[in-house]
Amino acid sequence: MGTGTVLLAVRAPGEGAGGVLEQLRRIGAELEDTGLLVRWAGDARDARAVLRTEAGLAAAVVSWDLATRAGTPGGGGGAEVLAAISRRFKDLPVFLLMSQDAEEDFEELPLWVSEVVNGYIWPLEDTPVFIAGRVAAEARSYLEGVLPPFFKALRRFEDAHGYSWHTPAHAGGVAFLKSAAGRAFFDYYGERLFRTDLSISVGALGSLFEHNGPIGEAERNAARVFGAERTYFVLHGDSTADRMVGHYSVTRDEIALVDRNCHKSVLHGLVISGARPVYLVPTRNGYGLAGPLPPAHTDARAVRAQIAGHPLAADALAPEAQYAVLTNSTYDGLCYDTLQVARALAPSTPRLHFDEAWFAYARFHPLYAGRYGMAVGPETFDDPLRPTVFATQSTHKLLAALSQSAMVHVKPSPRAPVEHDRFNEAFMMHGTTSPLYPAIASLDVATAMMDGPQGQWLVDEAVTEAVRFRRTMVRTARRIAAAGDRPGWFFGVWQPDTVTDPATGERVDFADAPPALLAADPRCWHLEPGADWHGFEGLTDGYCMLDPVKVTLTCPGVSATGRTDARGIPARVLTAYLATRGIVVEKTDSYSTLILFSMGITKGKWGTLMDALMDFKAHYDGDTPLEHVLPALVDEHRHRYAGLTLRRLCQDMHEHLTEAALVDALDAAFRDLPEPVAPPQHCYQQLIRGRTERLPLARAAGRTAAAMVTVTPPGIPVLMPGEAVGAPDGPLLRYLGALEAFDRAFPGFRSETHGVTRDATTGAYLIECVKADGGRP
C-alpha cells in the first residue's frame, strides 16, 4: 500500500500550553519518520477541507475543543470534524485528543463519540514515540483493510516479482522493450500495467468463469454492496451484459416485451436468442426527448392487448411474455419507481430486466430510493407474482472503473429461479477466457469506493454540483433578462420551474429553493402529471423522476410542449462551438444537449462551461462572422458557409428544421411503429447469407428491414430488423428523408446514423433490406 496521510486537527495552543504544543510537534515528526504524511489543521474549517480533498487519509487525531474556525473563541469544532469523518470514510481510525482532566472530559463527551473514535490520546502521559506508533499501527492496518479482495490479491501477486511462463506473450512487458515502438508503448503506460496483465493460468487469483478465488470473493462483495443476491463481472461493457441476460431469459419463438427506447445490444440479444419482440412505446415531448413508458402501457390488460394484436405473437410458443426489458434511467435521466413498474408488469412476465447502463450509482444516495432494479425484492414486493429482476450496469460510465467494465446484478424469485450453473452458460458464451485483470481490479475498486458512507458522499458531491450549476443557469438567465443592456435570451435547463418547500408547503422558483432541499428531496425532481416543463403525457404521481446529475441544456426555438418560435438556435451549432472550446457533450438533439455531472465534476469544470455559453451568446448577439466562431467548419465547407455569421447560420438551420417539421417527424416515426413482418433472427440470417441489399430511401418503400437503424440524436432505434419500411409518405421514410435533406443542406452537422450507409457520390441514405424474394420465415 502506498504512503498514507494522517490528519492532526488540533486547537492552536494558547499561552501556557507550550508543553502540549511541543509534544504534538514531536508526535507529528515521529509519524513522518514511519513514512506517513502529516496534514495539520488548526480549526474545523481547515480540517473539513482536508477531509474533502485527501482521499488517501489513513488516520485522524482530532482535538475535541477544536475551534470551528481560526480566531473563533470556544470549541465545538471537534464534533463537526468527527461528524464529517463519519459521513466521508468507512472505519477510518480516529483518535480523540484529550486534556489532562480525563474524568471531566469523558463526562462532557456525547455518547455517540465513542462510536466514532478508536481511542483517546493524552499527549503528556505517553511518549511521542509510543503515541505515534499506536496511530501508525492503526493507519497501516486501515490502509491494508481498504483494499478489496481481488485488487489486494493482484497486488500481492505482482509484488512477488515472479517470472511469467504463461500468456500473454509480452511477459510482463519485457517483449515491448525489444523494439522502438514497443518501448514507447511500455514507457507511456508504465511497467505495472503489464506486470498485472496476466493469464487465467494464475490460479491464485481465481477464475472469472468459475467465479472462485479472489475473483469470486470480489463478485460476492459487489453483490453485497449493490444489493443483489448474485453479481457477475462483465468485461465487454453493458452491451455484453444486455446480450447475456437476454440470451438467458428468453429463447427462440418466445415473446419478449421490449422498451422501444432500448440500446441496440438488447436487440442483439433477441437476435441471438430468436425471441419475438413486442415493443412498448414511450412518450415523447416537444424537444424530441424520449420519456418513460406510461403506466397505462404496462398494466396487464394493456400488455395482453398489445401481444394479442402483434403479428408475430400468433405463432409464438406461448401467448405470455417470458421476459421484459426497460431502460432505467433513460439517456436523458428519467428513472422509474421500479417497484411500481415491477408490480405492473408482474402479471405479464416472470423476468424483468432493467438496463441501468447510466445508473450504477443509484443505490448509494437516498435521492434515488426505490428507483433502481435491486430495490425490487422480497422485502419490498412480498408476493408470489414477484418477478426475477436483472440489472445490467455499465460501471465505468458514471462510477470509477476502466472502460468496458460492467456488472450484472440478479435478484431471483421463486417464480423464475436463476440457477447459477445455467446462467453461467450464457455468461461463458459472451465472456472471454483472456480477461484483462486490471479491468477486473477496477470493478473491485469501484465496489469498494461505494461501500459505506463514502459511497453516498461521492454521489452527493456530484448531485450537489449539478444542483449548483442548474441554479446558476437559471439565475444567470434572470440577470440577463433584468440587465437591459443586451438581448434577454439565454439557454435553459430542462427541469421543474418550481418546487414545493416542505417547510411551508408553498411553491418556490427552482433557483430560489435551498440547494440542500434540491439535493435531498426526490419530490423536487418528480415529473408531475401534466406539467409543461417536461411535456410528457399519461404520467402519475411519483412514477418517474428526473435525475439531477444528467443535465439537459435547452436552446431557444422550441418548447417541451411543441411550441415553435420564429427564432431559434439549433443545439448542433452550440455543441460545435463548445467542441472548439474543448467541451465535448454527451448527446445532442435538435434543440437540446446533454451533459453529465459524474463523480469527476468540479466547480472549475462547470464554470468553464458557463463561460463558453456566455461567449456563444455574445457571438450570437454580436452577429460574429462564422469564420471567427467555427473556422474549421468554414475552411472545410467554404462553398456553403463563407460569408455567413453565427446568427445567420442558426436562423437558416432553425428555419430548415421548422419547415421540415423534423421534431414532428421524429415523434411520428417513434409513435407509429413499423409493422412487424419477421422475427429479427430471421432477418439476420438473410443478411449473413447475402439475401439482402442496400437501397436508397426512394426504393426501400414496401420492403423489410434487415438491419437496425438508429439515429443519434436521439440514439434510439427507429427501425428494427424484420419491420416493414412502410410507404413512401409513411412516418419512417418521411423522417429519414428529412434527415437526409438536413445532411445535404448543412454539411458538417450530419446525424450519426447506425445501420445507414451513405452513397459515396450523392450522399444519399442507403438502408439494408431483405431482397424482394427473401420470403418469410
What's the per-residue H, E or C state across 583-627?
CCCCEECCCEEEEECCCCCCHHHHHHHHHHHHHHHHHHHCCCEHH
pLDDT at residue 185 tops 70: yes
Q: Angle at Cα 579 formed by Cα 576 and Cα 581, nearest 5°?
A: 125
| Residues in Cβ contact with 37 at an 8 Å cutoff, skipping those fewer than 6 apart | 3, 4, 5, 6
Residue pLDDT, tens place only, 42-65: 999 999 999 998 988 999 999 988
Confidence of residue 151 (pLDDT cuts 50, 70, 90): very high
pLDDT at residue 13 tops 70: no
Q: How far apart are CA 154 and CA 205, in angstroms?
A: 7
Q: How far apart are CA 252 and CA 688, in angstroms?
A: 18
Q: Angle at Cα 489 formed by Cα 601 and Cα 572, nearest 5°?
A: 60
What does the pLDDT read at residue 473?
97
pLDDT at residue 101 tops 70: no
| Distance from the first to the final alpha carbon of the chain | 60
Q: How far apart are CA 634 and CA 644, in angstroms?
A: 9
Question: What mean pLDDT comes out for the span 422-445?
Answer: 95
Confidence of residue 200 (pLDDT cuts 50, 70, 90): confident
Confidence of residue 430 (pLDDT cuts 50, 70, 90): very high
Amino acid at 602: T
527 three-state secondary structure: coil
Given a contact cutoff of 8 angstroms between Cβ atoms, the answer to whether 272 and 280 are in contact is no
State the average pLDDT for the chain.
92
Residue pLDDT, tens place only, 285-295: 988 889 999 99
Angstrom distances, CA of residue 646 to CA of 130, 456, 653, 689: 70, 43, 11, 49
What does the pLDDT read at residue 214?
96
Q: How far apart are CA 108 and CA 405, in angstroms?
A: 50
Q: How far apart are CA 688 and CA 706, in angstroms?
A: 10
The reply to whether omega before 168 is within 30° of 0 (cis) is yes
Choose the weakest-confidence range: 175-189, 438-452, 569-583, 654-668. 654-668
Q: How far apart are CA 569 and CA 506, in angstroms?
A: 35
Long-range contacts formed by 578-587: CB under 8 A, 24+ apart: 578/609, 578/612, 578/616, 580/629, 580/630, 580/632, 581/608, 581/612, 581/615, 583/608, 583/609, 583/612, 587/331, 587/332, 587/712, 587/713, 587/714, 587/715
668 three-state secondary structure: helix
Express as a percent the part of the chain with pLDDT over 70.
96
35 three-state secondary structure: coil
Q: Hey, which residues does 7 pair with through a beta bridge?
A: 39, 60
| Residues in Cβ contact with 22 at an 8 Å cutoff, skipping those fewer than 6 apart | none
Q: At what angle do helices 128-145 and 18-33 cross, to 10 degrees?
A: 50
Work out the burial of residue 388: count CB atoms within 10 Å of its CB; fewer than 13 is exposed, 13-18 middle, 19 or more buried.
Answer: buried
Q: At what angle do helices 731-745 and 662-671 cross, to 10 degrees?
A: 150
Q: Hey, which residues does 546 pair with through a beta bridge?
A: 334
Residue pLDDT, tens place only, 668-692: 888 888 999 999 999 999 999 999 9
What does the pLDDT read at residue 70?
64
Residue pLDDT, tens place only, 380-424: 999 999 999 999 999 999 999 999 999 999 999 999 999 999 999
Q: How far apart are CA 427 and CA 421, in angstroms?
A: 10
What does the pLDDT read at residue 18?
63
pLDDT at residue 11 tops 80: no
Residues in the chain: 777
pLDDT at residue 111 tops 70: yes
Closest residue by Cα to residue 653 from 729, 717, 741: 741
Q: How far apart are CA 471 and CA 46, in angstroms?
A: 27
Segments of 312-411 assigned E as strands:
321-327, 334-336, 351-355, 388-393, 406-411
| Residues in Cβ contact with 103 at an 8 Å cutoff, skipping those fewer than 6 apart | none
- Count CB-CB contacts under 10 A for residue 338: 26
Closest residue by Cα to residue 148 from 395, 399, 448, 440: 448
What does the pLDDT read at residue 14?
46
Angstrom distances, CA of residue 257 to CA of 269, 278, 284, 472, 748: 13, 5, 19, 41, 38
pLDDT at residue 2 tops 60: no
Taking the CA atoms of 652, 658, 659 and 663 in sequence, report the sign of the dihedral they define: positive
Between 629 and 763, residue with greater pLDDT: 629
Confidence of residue 67 (pLDDT cuts 50, 70, 90): confident
Choose the weakest-confidence range: 15-19, 30-34, 321-325, 743-747. 15-19
- Count CB-CB contacts under 10 A for residue 422: 11
Residue pLDDT, tens place only, 495-513: 999 999 888 889 999 999 9
- Count CB-CB contacts under 10 A for residue 39: 19
pLDDT at residue 717 tops 90: no
Closest residue by Cα to residue 380 from 339, 328, 337, 344: 339
Given a contact cutoff of 8 angstroms between Cβ atoms, the answer to whether 313 and 276 are in contact is yes
- Count CB-CB contacts under 10 A for residue 150: 29
Question: What mean pLDDT comes out for the span 340-364?
Answer: 97
Between 711 and 328, residue with greater pLDDT: 328
pLDDT at residue 699 tops 80: yes
What does the pLDDT read at residue 15?
39
- Count CB-CB contacts under 10 A for residue 406: 27
Q: How far apart are CA 1 and CA 43, in angstroms?
A: 30
Q: How far apart are CA 322 and CA 275, in angstroms?
A: 10
Question: What mean pLDDT comes out for the span 71-95?
Answer: 85
Given a contact cutoff of 8 angstroms between Cβ atoms, the answer to whether 444 and 151 are in contact is yes
Given a contact cutoff of 8 angstroms between Cβ atoms, the answer to whether 728 and 661 are in contact is no
Q: What is the largest CA-CA distance in the chain?
A: 99
The reply to whether omega before 496 is within 30° of 0 (cis) is no
3-class SS letters over 679-714 = CHHHHHHHHHCCCEEEEEHHHHCCCEECCCEEEECC
- Whole-number CA gyration radius for the chain: 29
Confidence of residue 570 (pLDDT cuts 50, 70, 90): very high
